[in-house]
Chain A
Amino acid sequence: MALYHNEDQAMLADTARQFMGEEGTIGKQLRHWRDKSCKDGFGHALWKQFAELGFTGILVSEADGGLGMGHVEAGIVLEEIGRNLTPSPFLTSSVMAATAIGAGNDELRGRYLPGLLAGDSVFAVAIDEGPKHRPERIATRAERAGNGFKLTGAKAFVVHGGSADMLVVAARTAGADDDQAGVTLFAVPKDAAGLSQDAVRLVDSSMATHVKLDGVLVDADAVIGEVDAGRDLLNRVLNAGRVGAAAESVGVAGGAFDMTTTYLKQRKQFGQLIGEFQALQHRASHLYSELEIARAAVIKAQQLLDAGSEKAELMVSVAKAKAGKAASLAVKEGVQMHGGIGMTDEYDIGLYMKRDRALAEFMGDMYYHAERVAQLSGY
């Protein structure tokens, strides 16, 4: 398969770019909700519009009423989300939770997918239990109780947890905290007794929660997939989130880069445009090169995931690490090249820096994924 968008994908990209460029802008969304101190950190009206365009069901099978597309297509939407810093539950709901629910039985899919497709529901994914991404270690326990399970433990920094109608929770039904096996995924409704959440606002104005599971009782039908054998599904959910976050990072980087090169062509100092200075030209060109490479790594990973290739695992980590590196460079150079105004809240470049920082942590930063590349390569 060629590593560029086919005609249908290019059309989707046009649609997504136009839509996000009109409705998902920094002014209409990010700043608007931030300045209102919105408890969700995003707008539900925009989420409904996502649904009208079919975006909410992009990874949902056609049989279940979705578009039945793949990670390349989800990534197209995410890149535009990144470029516009559009706050949206798309990545957690339509990419990660949808991947989990899609593996569930008819009843579970019937319970949750219609709400997602309609843009009425928001989902979150509760995996990590500390400030760093460490999905290998799952201490939250789920013990059999009556007809179902009782969940006990805590989850940290659950993005959109407070807005979610349902949380996909990874819990341990057997074995020790660091075991591969013995993991099960549960669909836990927001109003389940014993579930409590403390909200925290993050540097990028997004909202996350610290989740406490204090003997939360769920029925057996809350299980997604197989009991004790949820690690593979969890990995699929993680890979979907990682490659999705990488695509969003490429969008963030692209947005910051475009703002910065535009600025280099407008700002004058010492009687000339600052873009005429070779010191800045070379840094901008290096950044361009890094961004192009990150973009290539991301589409390669997306295609491998969609093809179910065994090489996908490695390439997803390459993509997340490389996109993180490139985006981090893009926002740092962006602020520096903007000079003093880059430090002001009025200019958008700083918002890119904040979003990049949050995305970098989400689903593992470049160090985590470089480590994973080393392990998967056998060293």
Chain B
Amino acid sequence: MSDLDAFRGEIRAWLEENCPAEMREPARSDDDICWGGRKFQFKSAAQKQWMERCAAKGYTVPDWPKAYGGAGLNAAEAKIWREEMNRIGARPPLSSFGIWMLGPALLKFGTEEQKVHYLGQIARGEIRWCQGYSEPGSGSDLVSLQTYGEDKGDHWVVNGQKIWTSYANKADWIFCLVRTDKTNKYQGISFLLFDMESPGVSTKPILLISGNSPFCETFFDNVTVPKHQIVGDLNRGWDVAKYLLGHEREMISGAGGNDRLNTIGAYAKRNGLEDPLLRAELAMFDVDALAFSAMGEKFLDEIKVGKAHPAQPNMMKYAGTELNKRRHELLMATGGSAALEWDSEASGGGSKARTWLRTKANSIEGGTSEVMLNVISKRILDLPGA
């Protein structure tokens, strides 16, 4: 038996022993996900147990180094971890922007002190992070951002406004792009970290078409940020942001997701599937969805060994989000009028309709599909003038 087979055996046994039965089915909504953080209330004892057991072994962030709260798994081991999790349908023990986005950026750009401090907090689910990128005047054209950090010697004083800050009202800390040099567009932005409880920070949830408010407007009114809370060099925050956007795009693409969720035709049949044209559309969709799962797996394999094109996350984001929108259109069609229910208990508070509406943001947030296609044209296809 190879070492990897032995490792698989260990993981399988550990999961059997430690993953509670309730955690072996997908989360029903955003509300059912374990986000961690100072304000987080566990939804069940099983949810708490599952996160804590994983955190103790480093399995909330299995491929981060042990020194920073991970389990130190290499690429092959991490793949086995994902496969074994998928095998029993286990949901992630902890989900957060800290894990998906800030973590990878800190691993690359952080100081040793920052890594030990912030990554450990993320791995243990202690601090929930939000991302301060977009501004009212800076959406797809992110680099035009105006939030300004004035240099006051040992600290900056930050003033400005962010928008589309996911879960800002629930987050403990923010990683934030702040202009620190008004004369240089790209090389005048710094990547700062600060506590959302700092004096001068306020948030205002935005009511969306889904009837939910996962995003906020976030205001900074003379917020003090100590100088050691910068990631990377002064005025080089765009480098960090670009790197991190790759991870965000990867996350939104759904790469590495649980492949049990990908065949919606079988789900539709349970609800009565009588329309042959709808069935045909579902089949064509499932071809695309199953092919995209393979793409997700290939992309993760390649990224681990540096074989993926550096701009490939843009392709993943484009294809994954467009696919997800199609998935939810078809789920609405298969659900019929029952999927229209907005607040009944039977519909889980309108979860189908609200999720369908929510997915429309997938191809807008983190860079629109059109921006992704621009980036592919320029960086991968090398088309002129792109």
Contact = CB atoms under 8 A, between A and B. Distances in A.
Chains A and B bind each other: yes
Interface of A: 2-4, 261, 264-265, 272-273, 275-276, 278, 281-282, 284-286, 288-290, 292-297, 299-300, 314-315, 317-319, 321-322, 325, 366, 369-371, 373-374, 377-379
B294 A373 contact: no
A374 B305 CA distance: 35
B298 A4 contact: yes
A273 B287 contact: no
B333 to A, nearest CB: 14
Interface stretch (B61-69, B128-136, B191-199, B368-376): B368-376
Contacts of B288: 293, 322, 325
A286 B288 CA distance: 14
Given A276-B385, A284-B383, A285-B377, A379 B266 contact: yes
Contact of B291 (A264, A282, A297, A379): A297
Contact of A371 (B283, B297, B299, B312): B283
Given A322-B291, A370-B284, A379 B268 contact: yes
A289 B287 contact: no
Main DSSP-derived SS at the B contact region: helix
Contacts of A281: 373-374, 377, 381, 383, 386
Contact of B377 (A3, A284, A299, A319): A284
* B268, B282, B290, B372: residue with the most chain A Cβ atoms closer than 10 Å: B290
Contacts of A325: 287-288
Contacts of B294: 3, 293, 296-297, 299-300, 315, 318
A276 B385 CA distance: 5
A120 to B, nearest CB: 38
B10 interface: no
Interface of B: 75-76, 79, 263, 265-266, 268-269, 273, 279-280, 282-284, 286-288, 290-292, 294-295, 297-299, 301-302, 305, 307, 312, 315, 318-319, 370, 372-374, 376-377, 380-386
Given A300-B297, A315-B294, A318-B287, A379 B376 contact: no
A321 B302 contact: no
A292 B79 CA distance: 21
A377 B267 CA distance: 10
B383 A264 contact: yes
Contacts of B273: 379
B385 A293 contact: no
A317 B269 CA distance: 20
Contact of A318 (B282, B291, B299, B380): B291
B352 to A, nearest CB: 19
A104 B75 CA distance: 41
A128 B384 CA distance: 47
Nearest to B309: A292
A226 B376 CA distance: 52
A294 B315 CA distance: 13
A231 B384 CA distance: 53
A2 B265 contact: no
A374 B295 CA distance: 20
A284 B381 contact: yes
Nearest to B376: A285
Contacts of B377: 278, 281-282, 284-285
